[in-house]
Amino acid sequence: MPVSTHRPLPSNIAAIQCEMEAHAASYGLDFYDTIFEFVNYEELSMIAAYGGFPTRYPHWRFGAQYDELMKGYTYGLQKIYEMVINTDPCYAYLLSCNSLTDQKLVIAHVYGHCDFFKNNAWFSPTNRKMLDQMANHASRVKRYIDRYGSETVEQFIDACLSLEDLIDSHLPHVKKQQEEAPPKPDKEDEDSQESTRKFPSKDYMDPYINPPDVLQAEADEERKTQENKEKSRSFPDTPQRDVLLFLLEHAPLKSWQHDVLSIIRNEAYYFLPQGQTKIMNEGWASYWHSKIMTTHGLTDAEVIEYADHHSGTMATSRNRLNPYKLGIELFKDIERRWDQGKFGPEYEACDDMHEKAKWDRQLGKGREKIFEVRRVHNDVTFIDNFLTPEFCIEQNFFQYRYNEDTNYYEIADREFNSIKQQLLNNLTNHGRPFIHVLDGNYRNRGELYLFHRFQGTELKQDYAEDTLVNLEKLWSRPVHIETVVDETPTILSYDGSEHESNPKS
């Protein structure tokens, strides 16, 4: 794969950057310093395959993504217009073959993203120096490849990547108390603990009243009893959602394997808020590139090209939700409602549809409100709090299902609550199942027992079986997951050689 090299921006593009930055700042956008790099499409595809970074640890999936992006561009199926990463300073990449109109649009869009990265609460725990961290991760993995071989390391990374979603999405925001290990007793403490097992005696009689071999035997017996208690005890005390952390703490991993798994987990948490805020983030950036371009950035000759490319980005599909379109329209709807006062108990209590349609208290609080929304919400709370029946009607939202009799997808429901619930189901935990560790010593055999919090959607059997195989590679003992299959509580198991599926007794 090619290596990106930094090239200074052409003078006309640098001038556009200064102009767009000034316009963005004038609207109150607050962003880190933003560094733009000029790259060709081959370099941009490499960066996109690496998740926006110029370097990552070696693995075949990055090459596969790069190949897919290049083929899509070569055959005219797709084109990446911009790429920006959440760091301080922010790094963004401009495609050298874009027109000046596109460069303006992309730069304005990037400043919207940079403002969102800096100010949205869900990005606040992320490492803003991740560019250096990624390079450090790459160096460590390369050392392990040199030491243990590329196939060994790559196979272990494959297993880890299949589990990278098994983290706790709220963990970065929870202030956990530091659990300090009890201090190792010094010599005085050991002597005082030993003295509690001894009978008082004169020094010259002590070897007879407190025989050393008897004291040692008692101490050994006490230690074995304590170890047996620990071995027979189920852990963790409460279900643990961060499966990767549990594996780091308890799986019998070699030191290099422990480090690689910690790298996978660290990067999973870095990318987590991007999945949690995809609709908001793209909607916010689209709102501001639209505002800046239509108000300040366009010449008469650029209007048609801008309108064509903007509408292409906002285009909807009958079988796919466009986060750009939903995000920008919902931000616009919030701004309009808060400008007109279409919120609160008085508005909600009004049952006259004609009155509600012409409702306008001229409050002018829309811009303030969308900045507040940008600061505190993620996609789930964004949809839950601000999606309205009127918005769904206006945007022609509906649910669709596949009809096996006709072999077509058909409209199944236009009812607001059904549409909203479907959106929330798809967005909660990125639409992935909730998995918790229940027991790391299942049946007192050191086996791993997981629990799937069933919410109406069954696990995909093939995915579940493949995940259990990779989990067993890390745990080195049989693994189990409790789930629901055909409405029956079931335990799926893998012992290292074969799969089992048994109803829970």
Rounded to an integer, the average pLDDT of 31-41 is 92
When the pLDDT of each residue in the chain is averaged and rounded to a whole number, the result is: 86
Residue 231: band (very low, low, confident or very high) from pLDDT cuts 50, 70, 90: low
Tokens of 170: 């709220």
Residue 409's pLDDT is what?
Answer: 62
How far, in Å, CA of 192 to CA of 189, rounded? Answer: 5
How far, in Å, CA of 107 to CA of 19, rounded? Answer: 10
| Tens-place pLDDT, residues 186-204 | 444 444 444 445 666 656 5
Got the DSSP string for 211-267?
-HHHHHHHHHHHHHHHHHHHHHS-S-SS-BS-HHHHHHHHS---HHHHHHHHHHHHH
Contact 423, 383 (CB under 8 A): yes
Contact 501, 492 (CB under 8 A): yes
- Statement: residue 207 has pLDDT above 60: yes
Rounded to an integer, the average pLDDT of 140-166 is 95
- Statement: residue 3 has pLDDT above 60: no
- Bridge partners (DSSP) listed for residue 423: none
Contact 482, 502 (CB under 8 A): no
- Bridge partners (DSSP) listed for residue 492: 481, 501
Query: What 3-state DSSP class applies to 488?
Result: strand
Contact 244, 261 (CB under 8 A): yes
Domain boundaries, the chain: 11-120+285-300, 132-168+241-274, 315-427, 431-503
Tell me the backbone φ, ψ of residue 173, rounded to 5 degrees: -100, 0
Query: What 3-state DSSP class applies to 321?
Result: coil
Residue 74: band (very low, low, confident or very high) from pLDDT cuts 50, 70, 90: confident
The H-or-E segment that residue 107 falls in is helix 100-119
How far, in Å, CA of 23 to CA of 43, rounded? Answer: 29
